[in-house]
């Protein structure tokens, strides 16, 4: 479980083919120094298990399902990635509960910059749009954000200068794909509502 508060911006050092999946080697000295094999790390919002730690790098394996349902397959050596270690019991929860199980991939439709501040509009599949509401929470590439406007096929978020500076969202351009995870509470509410019609 994560909070959506990105700890660090890592760099993909290597993408190694391991059919039918691949191995991602991510570089970040501090995170690597404080991480052990079998730890869970959110990489662009996707929960991955650390399978190796070597110097300033961390190794992860991603299977075909993960590569098909997230933007991790789009990464290339040198790509920045958002990193967050799993929450500890008793730790502060600065964002919202994020499972690291990506629901869908969206794309940046519009970007409106106002000095150092920005408003982004992202596409979203309708299946996930049903779980979203204005002032609700959404994780975009693992970043906990508040939804400003929510429409059937898209939503907007307002980004402060700090978020733009320390996450992958800052350099994102129109068409860029992002991992989306809706609020876990909304999923349960939707399921309860659907269950009322079960026979």
For the cut 90, the answer to whether the pLDDT of residue 74 exceeds it is yes
User: Could you read off the pLDDT of 107-133 as tens digits, one per residue?
Assistant: 999 999 999 999 999 999 999 999 999
| Confidence (pLDDT) at 77 | 97
Predicted confidence (pLDDT) per residue in 157-188, tens digit? 999 999 999 999 999 999 999 999 999 999 99
Q: How confident is the model at residue 199 (pLDDT cuts 50, 70, 90)?
A: confident
| pLDDT value, residue 91 | 85
Span 11-31, mean pLDDT? Answer: 97
Q: Where are the domains of the chain?
A: 8-85, 104-195
Closest CA to 28 of 88, 103, 87, 82: 82
- Does the pLDDT at position 18 exceed 90? yes
C-alpha of 198 from chain center: 33
Helix (H) or strand (E) holding 12: strand 8-18
Which architecture does CATH list for 104-195? Beta Barrel (2.40)
Q: Looking only at Cα atoms, what is the longest distance across the chain?
A: 56
- Give the lowest-confidence range in 95-99, 138-142, 149-153: 95-99
> Is there a shared CATH topology between the 8-85 domain and the 104-195 domain?
yes
Question: What CATH architecture does domain 8-85 belong to?
Answer: Beta Barrel (2.40)
**E-state strands within 98-161:** 104-114, 117-123, 137-140, 143-150, 154-159
Give the pLDDT confidence score for residue 93 in this predicted structure.
85
The tokens for 78 are 């040198």
């Amino acid at each position: 479980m994560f909070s959506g508060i990105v700890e660090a911006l890592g760099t993909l050092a290597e993408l190694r083919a391991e059919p039918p999946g691949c191995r991602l080697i991510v570089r970040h000295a501090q995170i690597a120094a404080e991480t052990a094999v079998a730890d869970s790390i959110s990489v662009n919002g996707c929960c991955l298990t650390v399978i190796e730690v070597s110097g300033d790098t961390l190794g992860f394996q991603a299977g075909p399902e993960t590569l098909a349902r997230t933007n991790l397959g789009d990464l290339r050596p040198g790509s920045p990635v958002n990193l967050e270690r799993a929450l500890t019991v008793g730790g502060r929860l600065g964002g919202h509960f994020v499972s690291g199980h990506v629901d869908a991939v969206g794309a940046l439709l519009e970007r409106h910059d106002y000095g150092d501040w920005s408003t982004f509009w992202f596409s979203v599949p309708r299946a996930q749009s049903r779980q979203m509401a204005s002032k609700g929470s959404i994780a975009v590439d693992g970043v906990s954000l508040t939804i400003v406007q929510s429409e059937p096929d898209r939503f907007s978020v307002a980004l402060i200068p700090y978020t733009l500076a320390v996450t992958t969202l800052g350099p994102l351009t129109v068409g860029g794909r992002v991992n989306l995870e809706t609020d876990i509470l909304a999923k349960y509410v939707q399921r309860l509502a659907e269950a009322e019609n079960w026979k």
